[in-house]
């Protein structure tokens, strides 16, 4: 079922944007008491791996999401480096989503840790005061149920709600009062606006446009001249704080896709093949970052004469395996005539499943985890048949017959080091075992809040004091590894 907002232009700050703070890293810290207050980096541990999320402590060293893991290790050599546990992050994300759905039928998830909510549609808020109350209560409920912090932005549009949550980070709430939007946006750098990437930013800078106010002053004609009709028009509207996009709730996620336009048409068939492989890998990284998998692989090709073709293939089951996506995309490419040249290529995955195939993740990650300095990130097919249960992935949970629940701190040279602690325990002790110790077995993650009470979300509840509220400083915020 698809819901749309009815109110197109609203005057009350009743669109809420929630962004969990350093989500994957925060889940790991909540789960592992010895890592609280420490630099934690979650991501692919192979030589070509990238950072999925860095804790705020790791960000102090300059580590940020989408950074190559090798660079992160140079900046923060003593940080804890962990393999992502997407199935666990997804289960925590579902706890948060159910709190959002209690506020409104209009919840638009953007990723595992980000969503828009139309508070007005759910009757949870109708003006600034009730919106702030709902936001304060939501943050308290999230903390009670998951033990984690999320930042909340409230505004009359999606664009501003997202800007507000970024200003609120970490662990805060910012409400943008209607009427103050343009004054607030004016001094911001143009790249604060959605759709302004590095290339557009450069183009605008060369034209002497640095801030949103300068963007507005430049005028629509000038922006259209600089950036083309569609982009110039859209950017001008945003500079004036005009954004009427509704919150759209969808049960099914749409699709994940990436594409590249080339400055010069590609004629070389081998190069076209390599580009498609690269796009397939990028698409899978984005898919995984969202904790999703999909059944239909789509290839898009725009040829030299602007004719655009799409080819797709539907698999028997959902996948997030880069090898499968690469192979399928290559097969689809074989059916397209590219003589004459190619100006755009794209790879997408649709028919998304709302779960992640954790086993595929574990197996792909195990290839990286074994010896980060020597093992290539290539995932040979033979590797996938190896029993994953004897691979001890950094950060994953285990259970020992005598010492109880713990997590893998590291492994190598036939040994595995385990720290024995649980979300509710004090920081635990480390012990080392042989990798084939029969007393040691993989375990499921324990709940972050041992007896999470389910807090009913009712607008009549009293608002809690909000020490985290702020309206001023800008704090670096996390962004998805592949953007948008
Ligand atoms: Mg976040």
- Radius of gyration in angstroms for the set of CA atoms belonging to the chain, rounded to a whole number: 24
Give me the number of domains the chain comprises.
3
Q: 6: helix, coil or strand?
A: coil
The two three-digit tokens of residue 152, written as one number: 């909340």
CA distance 52 to 22: 10
Residues 257 and 343 in one domain: yes
The answer, as to whether pTM is greater than 0.75, is no
3-state secondary structure of 240: coil
Same domain? 332 vs 381: no
Of the candidates 102, 87, 116, 115, which has an alpha carbon nearest to the alpha carbon of residue 27? 87
Whether residue 269 sits in one domain with residue 224: no
Q: What pLDDT, on a 0 to 100 scale, did the predictor assign at position 290?
A: 72
Cα–Cα distance for residue pair 115/103, rounded to 1 Å: 13
Asked whether residue 449 is domain-assigned, the answer is no
User: What pLDDT was estimated at residue 250?
Assistant: 63
Task: For residue 411, give the 3-state DSSP assignment.
Answer: strand
Q: How many CA atoms lie within 13 A of 359 on its CB side?
A: 9
Same domain, 280 and 342: yes
What's the gap in Å between 151 CA and the centre of ligand 1? 8
Q: Residue 419: give the domain boundaries.
A: 360-442
- In this structure, is residue 224 part of a structural domain? yes
Q: Which helix (H) or strand (E) holds 29?
A: helix 23-31
Do 218 and 297 belong to one domain?
no
Quick one: 322 and 344 in the same domain?
Answer: yes
CA of 146 to the centre of ligand 1 (A): 15
Query: Which of 442, 458, 478 corresponds to the end of one domain?
Result: 442
Domain boundary residue, one of 239, 272, 301: 239
The verdict on whether residue 397 carries a ligand-binding annotation is no
Q: Annotation-wise, does 444 bind a ligand?
A: no
**293 with 347, same domain?**
yes
Query: What is the 378 CA–ligand 1 centroid distance (Å)?
Result: 29
- Residue 311: closest CA among 341, 283, 346: 346
Instruction: Provide the residue-wise pLDDT of the chain in tens; the chain has 484 residues.
Output: 444 444 456 789 999 999 999 999 999 999 999 999 999 999 887 767 888 899 999 999 999 988 899 999 999 999 999 988 888 998 999 999 999 999 998 998 888 899 999 999 889 999 999 999 999 999 999 999 999 999 999 999 999 999 999 999 999 999 999 889 999 999 999 988 877 878 888 999 999 999 999 999 999 999 999 988 878 888 899 999 888 888 887 644 467 889 888 888 899 999 999 999 999 999 998 887 776 778 888 899 998 887 888 888 877 777 888 899 999 999 999 888 888 889 999 999 887 654 333 333 333 343 344 333 333 333 333 333 344 445 788 999 999 999 999 999 988 889 999 999 999 999 999 999 999 999 999 999 999 997 654 444 433 333 333 333 333 333 333 333 333 2
User: Quick check: is 288 in a domain?
Assistant: yes
Question: Catalytic amino acids?
Answer: 114
Point out the domain boundary residue: 318, 353, 388.
353
Instruction: For strands 404-412 and 397-400, give the pairing.
Output: antiparallel
CB contact at 8 A, 353 and 318: yes
Residue 285 has, within 13 A of its CA and on its CB side, a CA count of 21
Cis-peptide into 170, omega within 30 deg: yes
Residues 291 and 312 both lie in one domain: yes
Burial 358-379 (b: 16+ CB within 10 A, else e): bebbbbbbbbbbbebeebebeb
d(CA 26, CA 92): 11
Helix and strand element counts for the chain (H, E): 14, 19
Same domain, 341 and 267: yes
- Residue 317 in domain: yes
Q: What is the CATH number of the domain that holds 198?
A: 1.10.150.20
Query: Ligand 1: distance of its center to the CA of 94 in Å?
Result: 15
Question: Smallest Cα–Cα separation from 184: which of 203, 161, 202, 207?
Answer: 161
Sorted by sequence, the CB contacts under 8 Å of residue 237 that are 6+ apart come out as 243
Find the 111 Cα to ligand 1 centroid distance in Å.
Answer: 9
Inside any domain, residue 154: no
Is 3 within a domain? Answer: no
Whether 481 maps to a domain, the answer reads no
Q: What is the pLDDT of residue 254?
A: 63
Residue 410 located in a structural domain: yes
Nearest one of 355, 303, 302, 357 to 325, comparing CA atoms: 357
């Amino acid at each position: 079922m698809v819901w749309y907002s009815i109110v197109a232009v609203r005057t009350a700050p009743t669109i809420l944007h929630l962004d969990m703070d350093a989500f994957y890293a925060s889940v790991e810290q909540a789960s592992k008491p010895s890592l609280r207050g420490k630099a934690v980096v979650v991501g692919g541990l192979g030589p070509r791996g990238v950072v999925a999320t860095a804790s705020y402590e790791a960000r102090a060293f300059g580590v940020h999401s989408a950074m190559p893991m090798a660079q992160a290790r140079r900046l923060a050599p003593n940080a804890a480096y962990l393999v992502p546990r997407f199935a666990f992050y997804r289960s925590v994300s579902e706890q948060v989503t159910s709190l959002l759905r209690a506020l409104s039928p209009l919840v638009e998830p953007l990723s595992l840790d980000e969503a828009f909510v139309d508070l007005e549609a759910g009757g949870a808020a109708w003006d600034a005061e009730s919106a702030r109350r709902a936001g304060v209560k939501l943050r308290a409920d999230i903390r009670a149920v998951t033990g984690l912090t999320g930042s909340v932005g409230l505004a009359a549009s999606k664009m501003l709600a997202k800007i507000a949550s970024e200003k609120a980070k970490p662990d805060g709430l910012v409400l943008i009062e209607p009427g103050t939007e343009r004054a607030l946006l004016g001094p911001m750098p143009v790249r604060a606006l959605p759709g302004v990437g590095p290339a557009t930013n450069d183009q605008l800078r060369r034209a002497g446009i640095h801030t949103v106010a300068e963007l507005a002053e430049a005028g629509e004609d000038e922006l259209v001249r600089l950036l083309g009709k569609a982009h110039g028009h859209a950017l001008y509207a945003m500079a004036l704080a005009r954004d009427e996009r509704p919150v759209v709730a969808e049960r099914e996620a749409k699709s994940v896709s990436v594409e590249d336009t080339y400055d010069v048409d590609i004629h070389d068939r081998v190069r076209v093949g390599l580009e498609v492989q690269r796009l397939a890998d990028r698409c899978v990284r984005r898919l995984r970052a969202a904790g999703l998998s999909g059944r239909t692989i789509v290839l898009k090709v725009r040829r030299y004469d602007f004719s655009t073709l799409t080819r797709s293939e539907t698999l028997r089951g959902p996948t997030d395996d880069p090898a499968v996506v690469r192979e399928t995309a290559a097969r689809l490419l074989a059916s397209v005539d590219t003589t004459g040249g190619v100006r755009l290529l794209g790879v997408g995955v649709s028919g998304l499943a709302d779960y992640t195939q954790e086993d595929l993740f574990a197996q792909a990650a195990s290839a990286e985890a074994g010896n980060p300095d020597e093992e290539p990130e290539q995932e040979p097919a033979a590797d996938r048949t190896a029993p994953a249960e004897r691979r001890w992935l950094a950060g994953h949970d285990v259970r020992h017959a005598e010492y109880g629940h713990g997590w893998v701190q590291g492994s190598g040279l036939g040994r595995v080091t385990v720290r024995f602690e649980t979300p509710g325990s004090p920081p635990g002790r480390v012990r080392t075992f042989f990798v084939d110790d029969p007393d040691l077995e993989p375990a499921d993650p324990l709940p972050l809040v041992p007896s999470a009470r389910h807090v009913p979300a009712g607008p009549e509840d009293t608002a809690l004091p909000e020490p985290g509220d702020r309206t001023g400083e800008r704090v670096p915020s996390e962004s998805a590894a592949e953007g948008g």
